[in-house]
Amino acid sequence: MKENFESLTMNRRQFLATTVAASAALAGGVIGVPAFAQGAVPFELPPLPYPEDALAPYLSSRTLSFHYGKHHRGYIDKVNALVKGSNLAESSLKEIIKTTAGDEKRLAIFDNAAQAWNHTFYWKCMRPKGGGAPSGELEKKITEAFGSFENFKKEFTEAAATQFGSGWAWLTADGKSLKVIKTGNASTPLAYGQTPLLTIDVWEHAYYLDYQNRRRDYIAAFLDHLVNWDFVAENLANA
Ligand code: MN3
């Protein structure tokens, strides 16, 4: 009885998700073969770099518990289900993102792989008692590219505030120059051959519990109190 009830109430989204996972499995020819025989290592949700309440009061533990524990985990689970048994099962997230970027038939894989990667990167872009200003080579490159750190903050804030709907704002290295860009939904600079240095998630799920519709207050709190400039400097050194 319970099974019948569940199958009757399966909504269209669940149905599509199941169908997509089943098609992916079929495409890989894995029907009837146990998962452990595929040699695929499922991606795991990486640990948060700090406790869930460590970014309060700027981001509450309630926000992190949903954002990390539900949203981020959801993207990881979905990309695992989608690539399992396919020719992408041995690839890294970055490789999957680069391979599927712009491929409409593999949009669901791209979206979930990119969101899985973007979120891991986003958590590292913050730390308790963060914010302030960058120093050294990073400060020099930011001044070169934007005129001053204050100008960079303005440009980054505008990109983040004006991204229409869901998406991300980024500081990237594009060749030798630094840029501020924004991307919609799951998209990521990795898809455009740029190296991400810093990102802010501007999906409503990132700030709505703490700031409701005040996205600019969230962006200001991010820049003034949360950015981990040491991580950004490390990304620049490895770019
Ligand atoms: Mn998010």
**Spacing, Cα 130 to ligand 1 middle (Å):** 20
**Spacing, Cα 29 to ligand 1 middle (Å):** 33
Give the pLDDT mean for 113-136: 98
**Spacing, Cα 206 to ligand 1 middle (Å):** 5
**Spacing, Cα 4 to ligand 1 middle (Å):** 34
Please report the pLDDT score of residue 13 as a whole number. Answer: 39
**Spacing, Cα 205 to ligand 1 middle (Å):** 6
Q: Is the pLDDT of residue 36 over 90?
A: no
Give the pLDDT mean for 21-50: 56
Please report the pLDDT score of residue 44 as a whole number. Answer: 95
Give the pLDDT mean for 142-170: 98
Please report the pLDDT score of residue 77 as a whole number. Answer: 96
Six-digit token string for 112:
């979930």
Q: Is the pLDDT of residue 7 over 80?
A: no
Q: How would DSSP label each residue in 85-149?
A: TSTTTTS-HHHHHHHHTT-GGGHHHHHHHHHHHHHHHHHHTB-TT--S---HHHHHHHHHHHSSH
**Spacing, Cα 45 to ligand 1 middle (Å):** 14
The answer to whether 48 and 125 are in contact (CB under 8 A) is: no
**Spacing, Cα 67 to ligand 1 middle (Å):** 6
Model confidence, pTM? 0.83
Which of 15-24, 86-95, 180-189, 226-235 is least confident?
15-24
Six-digit token string for 10:
């399966």
Please report the pLDDT score of residue 53 as a whole number. Answer: 98
Identify the band that residue 37 occupies on the pLDDT scale cut at 50, 70 and 90: very low
**Spacing, Cα 79 to ligand 1 middle (Å):** 15
Which of 18-22, 128-132, 163-167, 217-221 is least confident?
18-22
Identify the band that residue 6 occupies on the pLDDT scale cut at 50, 70 and 90: very low
CA pair distance 81, 215, nearest whole angstrom: 33
What's the per-residue H, E or C state across 148-190?
CHHHHHHHHHHHHHHCCCCEEEEEEEECCEEEEEEEECCCCHH
**Spacing, Cα 119 to ligand 1 middle (Å):** 6
**Spacing, Cα 71 to ligand 1 middle (Å):** 7
The answer to whether 112 and 75 are in contact (CB under 8 A) is: yes
**Spacing, Cα 83 to ligand 1 middle (Å):** 21
**Spacing, Cα 209 to ligand 1 middle (Å):** 13
Query: Percent of the chain beyond pLDDT 70?
Result: 83
The answer to whether 196 and 172 are in contact (CB under 8 A) is: yes
For each of the domains in the chain, give its residue range(s) and CATH number, in order of start. Answer: 61-124 (1.10.287.990), 136-237 (3.55.40.20)
pLDDT, tens digit, for every residue of 73-112?
999 999 999 999 999 999 999 999 999 999 999 999 999 9
Give the pLDDT mean for 162-189: 97
Q: Which residues surround ligand 1, an ion (CB under 5 A)?
A: 201, 203, 206
**Spacing, Cα 202 to ligand 1 middle (Å):** 7
CA pair distance 79, 92, nearest whole angstrom: 11
